[in-house]
Every structure is written in C-alpha cells, then in structure tokens.
Amino acid sequence: MLSAELKAFYMVARLGSITQAAKKLGLSQPTVTTQIRNLESQYSVELFYRGGRRLSVSDEGARLLPMVKALMQQEADIEFFLRNCGQVQGTLRIAATAPYYILDLVKTFRQRLPQVEVSVEIGNSQQVLEALEEYRVDVAASSQLLNDARLIRRVLGSDPLVLAVHRNHPLAVHGHVPLSALAGHTLLMRESGSTTRRLTEALLASAGVCFGPLLEIGSRESIREAVLRNIGISIIARQEVPHDPHLRVLTIENAPQIPEYLYCLKERKNARLPAAFLGLAQEMSPA
C-alpha cells in the first residue's frame, strides 16, 4: 500500500516544503524525505524539481496530484462513515480558533450524548479551516467569514475588539481611547492567518495609525502573558481578556465586532454527529 507515501507527496506538493509537510503529518523530516524518495525510485519518476529552499511539483507530479487528492478524500469518507454508522456513538472532531463559544456547545453536547467522544484542537482561522477542508475535523469554528458553496455556516456569537493593557501602562488611566493613542506603542499580534490580526491591521490602517515595534506571538495565551508582563498592548476580543487585577480593558473607537462561525462541509451535514452538533448550535444561537 502506498498510502503513507502518497500522503507525504500530497502534503509536500501543497506546502512546497518538507519541513512544513512533516509538521502537518506529525512525522520527522527524514521520514517524509524517505517516503518521497521511495515513491520516486520505485516508479522511476521525478515528482519534484529540487532547487533552492522550496520544492516545485514536476509535470508528472502535477498530473498525479488530483488523483491523490481524490484518493485521500475517499479514504476520509470511508473513515467518516465508519465513525458515524450504527448507534449514536463514535468521535466528533472539532477545530476552533478560541474555546469560549465552542466549549459551551461541547458541554451541552456531551450531556446529551455522553457516549460520544469529542476532540477539540485550537488554531488560527487558516489552520482550522484547512483542517475542515482536508477532512481532519468534522466541524470548525472560526471568526473568518467564508461564503463558500461547499460549506454551511452557523453564527455562534460575536464579541467587540478591545485594547488590553497592563495596569501600569500609560494608557491604563483611560476607559476609552482613540486609535491615534496607540501610535508608537509596542503592539502584540497573532501570527499571519489570524482573523484578529487581519482586523487589527485593517482598523489601524484605516485610521492612518503607525504603531511602534510589532511583537508577533503565536497564541492568545502567550499574548495575555506578555500583556501581564507589560511587554506591550494588544487588540483582542473581549472574551479573551482574563479577569486579572493587573490588566485593564479599554474600549477603542470604531472597534468592530469579531464574530464566531461554525462551519461544516455540506456533504457531511446529515451525518449523525455533525448533524447533532449543528442542530445544537442552531438551538443555542443568539440570533
């Protein structure tokens, strides 16, 4: 069976990097490299052009790619069917950008279906939506608005963006600040792919605000810890600011609401577990 080798080929072709593919597959770089080489040597075919730091797919690799994608989708469909047939049991896999809305749903879902196992992984919007598209999760909660014919969408709620600062920060004496007040201050931001970062950059750009040195931190938990140490300030959703006497929450002008949506592939919306979870989301929707 070539399942492992073909998965390695597919992921390297998508990401253009053995390092990134290995991380996504949960394997070591040498393992992925060996799988690609074995596939090429076994069939005497060159699947990648190697040059510089990035791999590019060869002509043969480009023709193979859609076939491998279809095979991976079929494998995911089989696994999904087996998990959701028979009695209402199995595992519901969820990806989310934040725990706040999704955990309330998970709690109620588990109360109603205690025999069902639930797994929740947290990432940025790009990561969780990729996981849904690649059939690695059954539903995904994200603050990114997608109008995609392949997906159905439910609104989980919304939260305003606010400014979180340390109580000793010069801005902490205010309850509300104009965007111009952020000029020159060190701003803590999530990595590229984060909806909060995209909204923050758009908000400041529209106001013509040039902030100070940018400090990029890859998780909301780490950003909160950085604010607690007075390393910088951060624009984040109100629910993400913990209750702490060392923090101050300031409202900001023209602050948008940051929504949270629940997505599911239309082709899987009627499967038992996703359907039950979507129905619960609809039932608990604030709208």
Are the folds of 3-62 and 83-156+259-283 the same?
A: no
The structural domains of the chain, with segments of one domain joined by +, span 3-62, 83-156+259-283, 159-258
Q: What's the chain's average pLDDT?
A: 87
Give the confidence band of 150 by pLDDT, cuts at 50, 70, 90.
Answer: very high
Domain boundaries 159-258, CATH class: alpha beta
Torsion of CA 80, 81, 86, 87, to 10 degrees: 30
Extract the tokens encoding 238. Answer: 């109100």
Q: How many Å apart are CA 182 and CA 164, to the nearest integer?
A: 11
**Residue 52, Cβ neighbours under 10 Å: how many?**
7
What is the residue-wise DSSP string for 107-163? HHHHHH-TTEEEEEEE--HHHHHHHHHTTS-SEEEESS----TTEEEEEEEEEEEEE
* Alpha-carbon distances, residue 219 vs 23, 93, 123 (angstroms): 17, 21, 8
Give the confidence band of 205 by pLDDT, cuts at 50, 70, 90.
Answer: confident
User: What mean pLDDT is predicted for residues 227-250?
Assistant: 90
* Alpha-carbon distances, residue 282 vs 25, 99, 238, 262, 286 (angstroms): 33, 18, 23, 10, 9
Residues paired with residue 153 on neighbouring β-strands, in sequence order:
263
Q: What is the CA radius of gyration of the chain?
A: 22
For 9-32, what is each residue's pLDDT tens digit? 888 888 888 888 888 888 898 899
pLDDT number for residue 76: 76
Lowest mean pLDDT: which of 36-40, 87-91, 260-264?
87-91
For 120-131, what is each residue's pLDDT tens digit? 999 888 889 999
pTM to 2 decimal places: 0.64
Q: Residue with structure tokens 């629910």?
A: 239
Please list the alpha-helical segments (H only) found in 17-58.
18-25, 29-43
CATH code that applies to domain 83-156+259-283: 3.40.190.10
Domain boundaries 3-62, CATH class: mainly alpha
DSSP annotation of 211: B
Please list the alpha-helical segments (H only) found in 44-124.
59-84, 99-112
Q: How many helices (H) and strands (E) are present in the chain, helices listed first?
A: 9, 12
Contact criterion met (CB below 8 Å) for 219 and 265 = no
